[in-house]
Amino acid sequence: VSPRPFQVRELLIALNRQARTPLAHQLENQLRDAILRGRLASGQQLPSTRMLAEQLGVSRGVVLRAYAQLGAEGHLTLRQGANPLVRVVGVPGPDILSGVHDGDGPRFRYDLRPERPDLSQFPRGQWLRSLRHALDTATDAEVGYIDSRGLRSLREEIARYLARARGLAVTANRIVITGGSTHALVLIERVLVRQGKRVIAFENPSHELLHTLSRRAGLEPLGIPIDDDGLLVDELRRSAASAVVAAPAHQFPIGLTYSKERQLELLRWADETDSLIVEDDFNAGFRYDRAPIGAIQGSAPERVAYIGSISKTLAPGLRLGWAVLPASLVDDVAGELEGAMQHLPALEQLALADFVRRAEFDRHLRRLRGIYRKRRDLLVRTLRNELPQYPVRGIAGGMHVFLELPSVADEANAWARARQAGLGVESIGEHALAGYGGPRGLLIGYGAEHERALIRAAHELAGAIRESVGRGDKPRPLTHLA
Ligand SMILES: Cc1ncc(COP(=O)(O)O)c(C=O)c1O
């Protein structure tokens, strides 16, 4: 069924009654301009002469004359007893923004980018039920201006969920609902900038996006090396940074988990130097072989700002996440959010609260874990069969693996070859900060592609790597990470 033609009711026309140009000419010029510049699209219905005359406070004759002229020029299709239709001939002009940047990102034959969830798994039916429930039950106050930290009912559900599933020490009043974990990070960083901080430490490598956002927020990201046990805390001490972003449960992009010893060392550093750890727990729900390790926030809630979101578990487009904050940061972070947008949209918050309360979130996660585990197994098996000489790392959780290659040049060649073939992999180099000297290789996501496509993609990728990587070199073991 084709949609009914869109009838334009809101049309910006400004007539100047003092001008010498007759009103009908002014109207005709402005309509022509709107059509030529692409502000009015082909097939749109303009208002009837009576309605537009009324809206502009002119006689119907003025509108009739303007429409007749544009009809004669071919810009409008005039129809007896019906509203005129816009007719665009050729390419619309520069006022239309489509095609500037559609924000959908690059297109690949196979999307093997790390940490891309399978968006076809988004539980639309269950979400709709929660959204409907939200609309049915929202009080007037809940659709007015709400607490800038977010709706209390959602903060309570998230607090309960994080306490039971991730071991957090948390109450609703320590939570700020944000537009994702990156938003949470940026809000915290703005507060740090206000406190006079200039630098923020990161594991090296770590996600390039977080580095870019930090720079925009006014902080210089400083890379701290990691080894098999996690971030090298001695290096952090030497750096004089007083805030660090870390992902102890599942480091991106290497995929390692911090040893207990290293977690304690990191917490000691924060205590002794009065510093802040931003714990990025963006994908901790996905561990396939063992139970996930708890968040370090649970051991030091006044030293750790914990950030997370539903981007990997539900969908990034919903833009919902949270920060769990030390008492000293709650008001400042909520204030930063309030300054930009008052608070996150309330209906989605109510829907998420309902979704978690009805245990749909738990059920959905369990289902996804099964799906991603199968994909991981398929990918790892194919890579190990086809490329036994290169270690496959970071397989315990998340939605990608790290295929270690012998050298920087091999990484670059393999990446270029893979991209040429339409395989959307990433490389370690894309996520490295200055001074990186650790292992190199490709990051291969298994979240977004279905099983059969994933196997085909893995075979093609193996071929691309065999063609591009120098033979005979021994890959460097992970213990040389630092
Ligand atoms: C390390 C890391 N943190 C956070 C995110 C997600 O950010 P958000 O929760 O804002 O969607 C990503 C996205 O890929 C990521 O890779």
For residue 309, the ligand 1 atom closest to its alpha carbon is: 9
Q: What is the distance in A from the centroid of ligand 1 to the CA of 402?
A: 17
Higher pLDDT, 7 or 196: 196
Instruction: Give the total residue count for the chain.
Output: 482
- 174: which 2 tokens? 């320590």
pLDDT at 3: 62
Instruction: Please choose from 111, 113, 115 the residue to mutate so as to test ligand 1's pocket, defined by most ligand atoms within 8 A of CB.
Output: 115
Residue given tokens 């950030």 in the structure block:
307
Q: Does the beta carbon of 311 lie inside 6 Å of ligand 1?
A: yes
pLDDT at 276 over 80: yes
Residue type, 389: Q
pLDDT in tens, 319-363: 999 999 999 999 999 999 999 999 999 999 999 999 999 999 999
Segment holding 132, helix H or strand E: helix 124-137
Q: What is the distance in A from the centroid of ligand 1 to the CA of 149?
A: 20
Q: What is the distance in A from the centroid of ligand 1 to the CA of 445?
A: 14
Q: Does the beta carbon of 181 lie inside 6 Å of ligand 1?
A: yes
Mean pLDDT of the chain: 93
| Banded pLDDT at 282 (limits 50, 70, 90) | confident
Q: Does the beta carbon of 282 lie inside 6 Å of ligand 1?
A: yes
pLDDT at 480 over 90: no
- The candidate with the shortest Cα–Cα distance to 442, out of 419, 462, 414, is 414
Q: How many Cα atoms sit within 13 Å of 336 on the Cβ side? A: 22
For residue 183, the ligand 1 atom closest to its alpha carbon is: 10
pLDDT at 103: 56
Q: Does the beta carbon of 279 lie inside 6 Å of ligand 1?
A: no
pLDDT at 92 over 60: no
Ligand 1: residue whose CA is nearest its atom 16: 207
**49-56 vs 60-73: helix axis angle to the nearest 10?**
120
pLDDT at 73 over 80: yes
Instruction: Please state which of the ranges 6-20, 188-202, 393-407 shows the lowest mean pLDDT.
Output: 6-20
pLDDT at 479 over 80: no
Residue given tokens 């065999």 in the structure block:
466
pLDDT at 283: 82
For residue 207, the ligand 1 atom closest to its alpha carbon is: 1
pLDDT in tens, 452-475: 999 999 999 999 999 998 754 454
Q: Does the beta carbon of 410 lie inside 6 Å of ligand 1?
A: no
Distance spanning both ends of the chain, measured CA to CA: 61
Give the whole-angstrom CA distance, residue 320 versus residue 151.
12
CA distances, 36 to each of 23, 86, 90, 92 (Å):
20, 10, 9, 6
Give the whole-angstrom CA distance, residue 421 versus residue 458.
12
pLDDT at 37: 86
Q: What is the distance in A from the centroid of ligand 1 to the CA of 53?
A: 52
For range 283-301, the mean pLDDT: 89
Higher pLDDT, 414 or 12: 414
For range 400-421, the mean pLDDT: 97
pLDDT at 403 over 70: yes
- Do 225 and 204 form a contact (C-beta atoms < 8 A)? yes
pLDDT at 2: 55
For residue 316, the ligand 1 atom closest to its alpha carbon is: 11
Q: Does the beta carbon of 179 lie inside 6 Å of ligand 1?
A: no
pLDDT at 102 over 60: no
> pTM for the complete prediction?
0.87
- 124: which 2 tokens? 């639309």
Q: What is the distance in A from the centroid of ligand 1 to the CA of 252?
A: 10
Segment holding 186, helix H or strand E: helix 181-194
